[in-house]
């Protein structure tokens, strides 16, 4: 049974399992539009009502494909997209680009508004600009009715906390900071988001494909030791007749402060499998065994963004 949770200060109720559409841009291998359409239809039929995409995914391909798949179903979903990231090294968080970007996204998504609009990977921006220009510009887009709610996303937690502390964000998206490999979201961003009433979205419960049998895509930024540890975790689960992605998703779904956990999916089999995991049981001993197998690779994260936005400078170490 799908569970629905309130998303922070918004009036939205989102499915605890959310649909990440970055694979629609072929970031995890070639996908097929017909199968993507079937995956979206299957997800909605099973009660998934939260969809995330961005212009960056497949350099606009993912938005176009998701827009097509949502035709006739748009009113059944909470739709989130982003702005500000347009390539590996192509960022623009200016108000001028935002006004252009949202119109381009709406055209690709074939809708007159999105439900949530995020500034994408803000650690690559100048945080003065993000706070002084980007967030007020997002508020202006909200007033125009092109989005109902606004927020930011990124990898380092310090910049996300700073953005949330403006008290202007309805939601914040963090990825790769709360799953079987890492749990530092809980000490840092979670209490700040709660204090400010910003809905918390946790993405990448499979650590961007690392916690799967197939393993990570070539571009995965984790250090070699982390990849090796994930492989050992997979072998341990397999030796017990278990599938690591099932276990990893279960662990992430159990994290109550999060409104929705975003998993990347691109076919019906993945959607059905992940829907099944909603009804699975929690095994804290297994989580602990996997934590031990991860060893020193647990809670290790890679750098992302401008040096001045690094968590090594902005986060106060917790006891
Ligand atoms: P993820 O951890 O969800 O892993 C996705 C990979 O796991 C894909 O290869 C998918 O095919 C595979 N997968 C899914 N279910 C599976 C299953 N049951 N068994 C085996 N393999 C399975 O990583 P992600 O897709 O990068 O993250 C989820 C979503 O969150 C993204 O699609 C995107 O929408 C969002 N996200 C946003 C940001 C950001 O804003 N900066 C960053 C990361 C992710």
Q: Using CA atoms, how far apart are residues 254 and 93, in angstroms rounded to an integer?
A: 34
Q: Is 236 a catalytic residue?
A: no
Tell me: the pLDDT tens digits for 104-122? 999 999 999 999 999 999 9
40-58 pLDDT, tens digit each: 999 999 999 999 999 999 9
Protein residue with least CA distance to atom 27, ligand 1? 204
State the DSSP H helix or E strand holding residue 195, giving kind and residue range, or none if neither: helix 185-196
Residue with CA closest to ligand 1 atom 34:
20
β-pair partners for 162: none
Decide if 167 contacts 196 (C-beta within 8 A): yes
Which pLDDT score, from 0 to 100, does residue 295 have? 98
DSSP 29: B
- Residue pLDDT, tens place only, 141-166: 999 999 999 999 999 999 999 999 99
Nearest to 189 by CA among 152, 216, 215: 152
Residue whose CA is at the smallest distance from ligand 1 atom 26: 208
Angle at 86 between CA 306 and CA 105, to 5 degrees: 135
Q: What is the structure's pLDDT at 316? A: 76
Give dist(CA 34, CA 36) in Å, integer.
5
Residue carrying the six token digits 């918004």: 10
Q: How far is CA 72 from CA 40, 60, 100, in A?
A: 12, 21, 25
Q: How far apart are CA 251 and CA 246, in angstroms?
A: 9
Mean pLDDT of the chain: 97
Mutate which of 27, 85, 209, 251 for ligand 1? The one with the most ligand atoms within 8 Å of its CB, which is 209
Tell me how far apart the alpha carbons of residues 128 and 136 are, in angstroms, rounded to a whole number: 12
Specify the pTM: 0.98
* CATH 3.90.1150.170 is right for the domain spanning 4-209+245-281: no
Contact assessment for residue 229 and residue 222, using Cβ atoms and an 8 Å cutoff: no
CA–CA dist 80, 290 (Å, integer): 33
In this prediction, residue 9 carries a pLDDT of: 93
Q: Ligand 1 centre and the CA of 28: distance in Å?
A: 9
Are 270 and 19 in contact by the 8 Å Cβ rule? The answer is: no
In this predicted structure, what is the pLDDT of residue 318?
Answer: 62
In the block, residue with structure tokens 């949202």: 102
Identify any residues that bridge with 200 across adjacent strands, giving them in sequence order: 172
Residue environment code for 74-90, b if the CB has 16+ CB neighbours within 10 A, otherwise e: beebbbbbbbbbbeeee
Site to probe by mutation for ligand 1, drawn from 156, 175, 258 as the one with most ligand atoms within 8 Å of Cβ, is: 175
Give the pLDDT confidence score for residue 63 in this predicted structure: 98
Ligand 1 pocket by Cβ (under 6 Å)? 20-23, 28, 52, 120-121, 153, 173, 175, 203-209, 212, 245, 262-266, 270, 273-274
Q: Where are the alpha helices (DSSP H) in 17-156?
A: 33-45, 61-69, 95-109, 127-129, 135-144
**Under-50 pLDDT residues of the chain:** none
């Amino acid at each position: 049974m799908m569970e629905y949770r309130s998303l922070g200060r918004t009036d939205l109720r989102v499915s605890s399992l959310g649909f990440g559409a970055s694979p629609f841009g072929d970031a995890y291998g070639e996908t097929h539009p017909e199968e993507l359409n079937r995956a979206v239809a299957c997800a909605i039929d099973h009660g998934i009502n939260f969809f995330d995409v961005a212009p960056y995914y497949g350099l606009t391909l993912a938005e176009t494909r998701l827009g097509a798949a949502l035709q006739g179903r748009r009113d059944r979903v909470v739709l989130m997209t982003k702005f500000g990231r347009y390539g590996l090294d192509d960022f623009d968080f200016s108000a001028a680009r935002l006004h252009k970007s949202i119109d381009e996204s709406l055209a690709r998504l074939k809708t007159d508004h999105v439900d949530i609009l995020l500034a994408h990977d803000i650690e690559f921006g100048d945080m003065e600009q993000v706070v002084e220009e980007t967030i007020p510009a997002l508020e202006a887009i909200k007033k125009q009715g092109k989005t109902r709610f606004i927020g930011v996303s990124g990898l380092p937690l310090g910049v996300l906390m700073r953005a949330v502390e403006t008290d202007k964000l309805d939601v914040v998206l963090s990825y790769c900071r709360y799953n079987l490999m890492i749990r530092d979201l809980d000490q840092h961003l979670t209490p700040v988001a709660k204090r400010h009433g910003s809905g918390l979205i946790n993405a990448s419960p499979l650590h961007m494909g690392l916690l799967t049998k197939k393993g990570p895509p070539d571009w995965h930024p984790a250090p070699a030791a982390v990849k090796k540890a994930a492989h050992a975790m997979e072998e341990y689960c397999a030796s017990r007749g278990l599938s690591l992605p099932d276990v990893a998703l279960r662990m992430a779904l159990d994290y109550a402060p999060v409104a929705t956990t975003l998993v990347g999916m691109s076919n019906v089999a993945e959607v059905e499998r992940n829907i099944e995991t909603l009804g699975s049981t929690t095994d804290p001993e297994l989580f602990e065994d996997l934590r031990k197998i991860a060893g020193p690779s647990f809670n290790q994260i890679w750098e992302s963004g401008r040096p001045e936005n690094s968590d090594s400078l902005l986060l106060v170490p917790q006891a």
